[in-house]
Amino acid sequence: MQPEENRFESDPDELLTDDTALPVGWTVEPPDPDDPAQVERLTALWRGHQVTGRGWASATAGDVRIEIGRRGQRVRENVVIRDEAGRIVAWGMVHDRSIARMVFRPVIDRDADARLARTCSAVLVAWAQAQAVEVGTARGLKSQQIDTEAFADDELFQRLLARNGFTWVRTWWQMSRPVTADEAELVPDPADWSANGVRFRLLGRDDSGVPDPVDVHRVHDVLEEAFADHFNSTEETFDEFVFRLREDPGHRWDHWWLAELDDGTPAGALVGSRLPGDPPGSYVEYIGVLANARGRGVAKGLLHTVIADAARRGRDRVGLEVDADSPTGADGLYTSMGWQTRYCTESWHQEIAIAPQ
């Protein structure tokens, strides 16, 4: 399961003009995923960005390798900015996330002075804008969205985004819920149980652990339909969906659940993952319920399942993200079940027009 070939331009010199305003001797180039020193430096930059924005860091070298690694180059491009001494002071990543949505992550050394931070951010945005044109053109679009994220308390980074043409569009609550050992009994068996005419089960898998492809397609179809009218939902092909989720180091096939009605009709789905830590936690990547099953306790049943599963694995928490302006009232359900907001993030967008070919 592989997405289509890379739609980006891999040579930054083809996208950036000579008058980038960088100081003399500074360069823009792709990072080397095979260089441990570069991975270490990018990890430090990313962690510094997180500490400044929310007070603590979670990024690891493994996360960096996903972003810049060769496998991910089918859907991503990266550049770094080096100063005259060759030290990496900024990093930009773009991800061809789905139709009309390109994710952009700029990371700038938080020890850099304000003028250089502005210069680096402007160069990275110019590169991302050019990449948006490349992707939008390859997809045959009239416009391409650039979607980036800021921590809600990171006012300096927000000012850099606004200065470069981005607009705040949404706030997201990053929520977490403690898990206790006794909650292993919340459901009879997280692998397969039923209540109120709904069956909750893990994906079918063969003896080698390979999931049933029909079940995987069902999960994708359920989530595409369930999120069709949600904020900024864009079509993601099956291959793109599976490729992206399998990149996550926390991905586990035994963290994917289907909810089905008595006649076998899909009703909902939950895709989870493993959070690092000691002990580790579980994370709800996606939870969706179809209209034909709403009001039958499907969402609560799926959530009870992932909580019970986490408890049986000896985990101490389950995390998830929720739209602060969700029209479904999902936040009320999560709060009633013990989730609390740990921190907030924001989506900032910029729309890039694509010239007719």
- The domain spans of the chain are 12-172+348-353, 180-315
Predicted confidence band of residue 5 (pLDDT cuts 50, 70, 90):
confident
Predicted confidence band of residue 19 (pLDDT cuts 50, 70, 90):
low
How many C-beta neighbours within 10 Å does residue 152 have? 18
Whether the per-residue pLDDT at 315 is higher than 60: the answer is yes
In the chain, the percentage of residues whose pLDDT exceeds 70 is 97
pLDDT of residue 331: 80
CATH of domain 180-315: 3.40.630.30
Residue pair 280/315 in contact (Cβ under 8 Å)? The answer is yes
Predicted confidence band of residue 71 (pLDDT cuts 50, 70, 90):
confident
Rounded to the nearest integer, the mean pLDDT of the chain is 93
pLDDT in tens, 233-281: 778 899 989 999 998 889 999 999 999 999 999 999 999 999 998 999 9
* CATH 3.40.630.30 correct for 12-172+348-353: yes
pLDDT in tens, 107-146: 999 999 999 999 999 999 999 999 999 999 999 999 999 9
CA dist 64 and 61 (Å) reads: 5
Torsion of CA 79, 82, 88, 93, to 10 degrees: -10
pLDDT of residue 91: 98
Residue 70 half-sphere exposure, CB side, CA atoms within 13 Å? 4
Query: Average pLDDT, stretch 19-30?
Result: 88
Query: Average pLDDT, stretch 75-89?
Result: 96
Residue pair 171/324 in contact (Cβ under 8 Å)? The answer is yes
Most confident of 37-41, 236-240, 322-326, 330-334: 37-41
What is the model's pTM? 0.91
Phi-psi region of 339 (alpha: psi -120 to 50; beta: other; left: phi over 0): beta
pLDDT of residue 3: 53
pLDDT in tens, 35-49: 999 999 999 999 999
Whether the per-residue pLDDT at 17 is higher than 90: the answer is no
Query: 40 phi and psi, to 5 degrees?
Result: -60, -45
pLDDT of residue 188: 98
Whether the per-residue pLDDT at 205 is higher than 80: the answer is yes
- Judge whether 12-172+348-353 and 180-315 match in fold: yes
Residue pair 38/30 in contact (Cβ under 8 Å)? The answer is no
Whether the per-residue pLDDT at 1 is higher than 60: the answer is no
pLDDT of residue 227: 87
Residue pair 44/52 in contact (Cβ under 8 Å)? The answer is no
pLDDT of residue 4: 59
- Nearest Cα neighbor of 300 from 339, 274, 263 is 339
Predicted confidence band of residue 74 (pLDDT cuts 50, 70, 90):
confident
Token readout for 154 is: 């990171």
Residue pair 101/236 in contact (Cβ under 8 Å)? The answer is no
